[in-house]
A and B are shown apart, each in its own frame.
Chain A
Amino acid sequence: MTEFTLPRRTALQLALGSLALPGIAEAQQAQIDPLLYGPTPENARRGGRITVGSLVEPPALDPFRQAADARIRVSPLMYQGLFFEDQSGVPRPLLAESATAAPDGKSWTFRLRRGVKFHTGQPMTSADVKYSYDFMRNAANGSPGAGDLSSVTSIDAPDDFTVVFNLSRPNAALPMTLTNKYGAVVPRGFLDDANSGTRMNEISVGTGPFKLKQFRPNSTLVFERNPDYWQPGLPYLDEITFVTMPNSAAMAVGLQSRRIDLAMFSRPQDTQALANAQGVEVRRWPSLNQKTVDLDCKYNNLGDVRVRQAIALAIDKKTVMDASISGYGTVIGTIVAGMQDAWGVPLDQLANQRVDLDRAKALLAAAGHPNGFDIDLTTIIGYDWMDAAAVTIAEQLRRINIRVNIRKLELGVWIRNFRAREMGFTFNDWGTTPDPSLLYYRHFRAAPEGADFRNWNHARASALLDRGQETADPAARRAIYAEFQKILAEEVPTIMMFSSDVLTANRTRLKNYVQHGTGWYFGLVKAWVEG
């Protein structure tokens, strides 16, 4: 049976008010939020094991020092931050119970949940929270998440269940930053050992619903239920085994032959093989990922805004999406599809979204390239969608006499170039935690506050990003990010083309699995299996 569902979270408005934002009294949230990690099922059965097929495998399991998406996908099963990054864009209290910002916005006070135990058996207190986030924000410890905490100047633990984050400037996105992408709360002292990073391949020391049972690199990763987990009755499953699968054909075979219960597909069209499979359901979820073309403003002729606009005006996003992911996605303007409703500007109000070859040619001529020019377009090995997209874009740009030479790079080399701000004219594939500050700030804020990978160095955009981060009022914040997006569309340091849907396929015996738009496995906490 095949079923296509596009789950609509109705929680958005409700959620926008549910977090204790500045001016809103702390108080609520003493109870456990029933929407944490997804909807709570009725009549769920406890027990049972499942096998999840995955095309990628974490290189290591350290949540503090490994940025690989494959690591982040599984970490939430074992480790927890203070908040859960609800897809609606609202941080739901996880290890925190409430959040209150000071009137000047320069400190946040978090009340912590009581009765939480680490996998080591120790109870969690504010000293552990302070220790964990102090470790993460210290750049010398090498955490990729340190940059997101640069506004934190100190962390206090006035009593066992209160922590206070002091900031150099207001940061309305702080709760969303203290979610589950990087870092987690671990027992104080654990990270003092120089080998703590690799020890986390053998034991888990978080507070999450599952404990690490076994990690066999290049093969399997096994989690078992945490019997002391703090959410009553959760998780339902006794054991989850992740198996590294060689390719999507093997995943389809594995589902049909009942070797695996759940799989996520990186190329949505690969689920077509399962359209008529017995006992397998294929489902489609909106994502927080985006496929883009990035323009390094120091590369080739891309320093001239007219050239960048001409390129944007020649690219037909829909055609590129159809060619590369068979249309299983949503064309976007300046924000990922999963955040469009809450934060996006309608595409018809953004510049350079519709193909206009005459204007593109005129802009090129005005920029001094009436006969076009040659340029390299970079794709990354292993990202299959980019191959089809590159050929399509080369063809589209040929119509304005830009001659594209496609160049393939290995991922490690590409990352090196990107970090060194030498990305050139390249495809990119990246996701975000659902907050505009976390989406835009590091990427587009001018240095040194931001990383400005595209050498855009845009003063007005940077000022807006600062204001957006500092502003607490949701409506004012939305207006600021709308203005920023209009500049982004006008200036074209990046062309955000489309968000590819997340496609999962599961055996029908697996119930209540909800896929998070990040592609991370939060949904396994409330999933259960029939006997």
Chain B
Amino acid sequence: MAGFLARRLGAAAIAALLSSLAVFLIMRAVPGDIVGQMLGQSGGDRAAEEALRAFFGLDRPLWSQFADWLGAVLRGDLGRSWYQGRPVGVMVWEAFLVTLELAVATLVLATLIGVPLGVVAGITQGSRLDRAIQSFNLVGLSAPVFWLGLMLLVGASAALDWSPPFAWSGPQEDLADNISILVLPVISLAVLQAAAYSQFVRGLMIEELGKDYIRAGRAKGLTPAELYFKHALSNVMIPLVTFMGLILVQILGGVVVIESLFSLPGLGRLILAGIQGRDYPVVQGALFFVVIIATTINLVVDLLYGLLDPRLKP
């Protein structure tokens, strides 16, 4: 177990280092830098450009810029935003909490809708109910999130004369506002993920129900409830947990669109604004954090396998 953990953590460290280097180089390869953004299309002259470039350390060799950044990260310092002046670590953490709340709420809602739908569709394969659920899946999987979000926003306004407050409040500031801000984005994201879940679980159930032990159980006189929920569903759990991890990573990746669509100050928008403004410390810090989170989720999923099925214990 210890050896497994050490190997995985080592691999994670290498992944973080390589991806940070890639982010560092790609950001600098993109034409334009913060100096152009600050001076605008027509302001300032060469002297102003040079002064600002020196202020941000952009006149130094690339290797020395990267070494400085990496050295600071190893000391636990992600630097400061060039625009905001605030510590990147704090900005990333605040944005992450917004994204996490959005992602967890989406995951819970998608699981609550998607898993039962998938189980029912699997059990009643070929029925009218199954076809109805499959239609939902098709629509859910093919409706673009930004379209769905916009329709929900305009629809809620037209039908209920209601719209979310557009200014963000965290759950600790004003819970009612917080929930009303999140309800539409969570539904928009959850529909897609619930459809994906339901489709996946349906396939698993059908496969599981065709297996010999189910036939044997049926012959033994087990009730359908016991067959489906005690035996079939517990075998479906392992791939489902893998899938949940994938979905969580996918939600974290997909929130960029929904955060922009609903003005949520999450990680996706932080990174997007950082890229547009060429705020290198923010982009590097935030993506470094994302890599760590994604690796951690994968690690936790691997460890969970062991808990759910002792045969897979590392």
Chain A positions within 8 Å of B, measured between CB atoms, are: 51, 53, 59-60, 65-68, 139-147, 182, 194-195, 197-199, 201, 216-220, 241, 243-247, 249-250, 253-254, 256-257, 259-260, 410-419, 428, 430, 442-443, 451, 453
- Asked, given contacts A249-B154, A412-B278, whether A259 binds B165 with beta carbons under 8 Å apart, the answer is yes
Contact A245 B263 (CB under 8 A): yes
B39 near A: Cβ within 8 Å?
yes
A260 CB to nearest chain B CB (Å): 7
Complexed CA–CA distance, A443 and B40 (Å): 13
Q: For A278, give the chain B residue with the smallest CB separation.
A: B161
Write out the residue numbers on chain B whose beta carbons fall within 8 Å of the beta carbon of A220. Answer: 167-168
Binary per-residue interface labels of chain B (22-63) against chain A in the complex, 1 for a CB within 8 Å, 0 otherwise: 000000001111011111111111011101100100000000
Write out the residue numbers on chain A whose beta carbons fall within 8 Å of the beta carbon of B161. Answer: 256-257
Complexed CA–CA distance, A415 and B95 (Å): 28
Binary per-residue interface labels of chain B (146-174) against chain A in the complex, 1 for a CB within 8 Å, 0 otherwise: 00001001100100011111111000000
A484 CB to nearest chain B CB (Å): 18
Write out the residue numbers on chain B whose beta carbons fall within 8 Å of the beta carbon of A244. Answer: 166, 263
Write out the residue numbers on chain A whose beta carbons fall within 8 Å of the beta carbon of B279. Answer: 59
B139 near A: Cβ within 8 Å?
no
Write out the residue numbers on chain A whose beta carbons fall within 8 Å of the beta carbon of B35. Answer: 142
Contact A66 B261 (CB under 8 A): no
- Asked, given contacts A144-B43, A216-B168, A442-B42, whether A417 binds B31 with beta carbons under 8 Å apart, the answer is yes
Write out the residue numbers on chain B whose beta carbons fall within 8 Å of the beta carbon of A246. Answer: 166, 260-263
- Contact partner of A60 (CB less than 8 A), chosen from B41, B84, B260, B265, is B84
Chain B positions within 8 Å of A, measured between CB atoms, are: 30-33, 35-45, 47-49, 51-52, 55, 80-81, 83-86, 91, 95, 150, 153-154, 157, 161-168, 260-263, 265, 269-270, 273, 276-279
- Asked, given contacts A253-B153, A415-B41, whether A60 binds B83 with beta carbons under 8 Å apart, the answer is yes
- Asked, given contacts A198-B85, A218-B269, A416-B31, whether A144 binds B153 with beta carbons under 8 Å apart, the answer is no
B262 CB to nearest chain A CB (Å): 6
Contact A219 B168 (CB under 8 A): yes
Contact A419 B51 (CB under 8 A): no
Contact A68 B40 (CB under 8 A): yes
**A140-B51, A147-B44, A245-B263 provided; 11 other pairs, C-beta below 8 A?**
A51-B167, A139-B45, A142-B35, A142-B49, A143-B43, A144-B39, A246-B262, A246-B263, A249-B154, A412-B277, A412-B278
B273 CB to nearest chain A CB (Å): 6
B261 CB to nearest chain A CB (Å): 5
Q: Looking at A140, A145, A218, which has the most chain B CB atoms within 10 Å of its CB? A: A218
**A-B pairs with beta carbons under 8 Å apart, 15 shown:** A65-B38, A67-B44, A139-B45, A139-B48, A141-B48, A144-B39, A144-B48, A146-B45, A147-B44, A198-B80, A198-B86, A246-B262, A256-B163, A415-B41, A418-B42
Complexed CA–CA distance, A256 and B265 (Å): 24
Contact A218 B270 (CB under 8 A): yes
Q: For B81, give the chain A residue with the smallest CB separation.
A: A198
Contact B42 A443 (CB under 8 A): yes
Contact A416 B32 (CB under 8 A): yes
Q: For B42, give the chain A residue with the smallest CB separation.
A: A442
- Contact partner of B43 (CB less than 8 A), chosen from A141, A182, A217, A416, is A182
Write out the residue numbers on chain A whose beta carbons fall within 8 Å of the beta carbon of B277. Answer: 59, 412
- Contact partner of A145 (CB less than 8 A), chosen from B43, B47, B51, is B43
- Asked, given contacts A142-B51, A412-B32, A419-B41, whether A201 binds B168 with beta carbons under 8 Å apart, the answer is no
Complexed CA–CA distance, A419 and B153 (Å): 40
Contact B44 A142 (CB under 8 A): yes
- Contact partner of A216 (CB less than 8 A), chosen from B51, B162, B265, is B265
Write out the residue numbers on chain A whose beta carbons fall within 8 Å of the beta carbon of B55. Answer: 142, 194
Write out the residue numbers on chain B whose beta carbons fall within 8 Å of the beta carbon of A253. Answer: 153-154, 157, 163
Contact B166 A415 (CB under 8 A): no
A129 CB to nearest chain B CB (Å): 21
Contact A259 B265 (CB under 8 A): no
Write out the residue numbers on chain A whose beta carbons fall within 8 Å of the beta carbon of B31. Answer: 412-413, 416-417
Contact A413 B166 (CB under 8 A): no
Complexed CA–CA distance, A442 and B91 (Å): 38
Q: For B269, give the chain A residue with the smallest CB separation.
A: A218
- Asked, given contacts A68-B37, A218-B273, whether A140 binds B47 with beta carbons under 8 Å apart, the answer is yes
Contact B84 A219 (CB under 8 A): no
- Contact partner of B41 (CB less than 8 A), chosen from A219, A245, A418, is A418
Complexed CA–CA distance, A77 and B282 (Å): 28
Complexed CA–CA distance, A410 and B30 (Å): 10
- Contact partner of A416 (CB less than 8 A), chosen from B36, B47, B162, is B36
Q: For B94, give the chain A residue with the smallest CB separation.
A: A216
Contact B42 A195 (CB under 8 A): no
A423 CB to nearest chain B CB (Å): 9
Contact A217 B45 (CB under 8 A): no
Q: Looking at A241, A418, A419, which has the most chain B CB atoms within 10 Å of its CB? A: A419
- Contact partner of A217 (CB less than 8 A), chosen from B48, B163, B265, is B265
- Contact partner of A415 (CB less than 8 A), chosen from B36, B52, B261, is B36
Complexed CA–CA distance, A53 and B278 (Å): 25
List the 5 shortest-distance A-B pairs measured between CB atoms, nearest first. A198-B85, A144-B43, A67-B40, A416-B32, A139-B47
A135 CB to nearest chain B CB (Å): 12
Complexed CA–CA distance, A195 and B55 (Å): 11
Write out the residue numbers on chain A whose beta carbons fall within 8 Å of the beta carbon of B48. Answer: 139-144, 146-147
Complexed CA–CA distance, A244 and B166 (Å): 8
Contact A141 B83 (CB under 8 A): no
Contact B168 A146 (CB under 8 A): no
A79 CB to nearest chain B CB (Å): 17
Complexed CA–CA distance, A216 and B269 (Å): 13
Q: Looking at A141, A257, A412, A413, which has the most chain B CB atoms within 10 Å of its CB? A: A412
Write out the residue numbers on chain B whose beta carbons fall within 8 Å of the beta carbon of A147. Answer: 43-45, 48
Complexed CA–CA distance, A250 and B83 (Å): 27
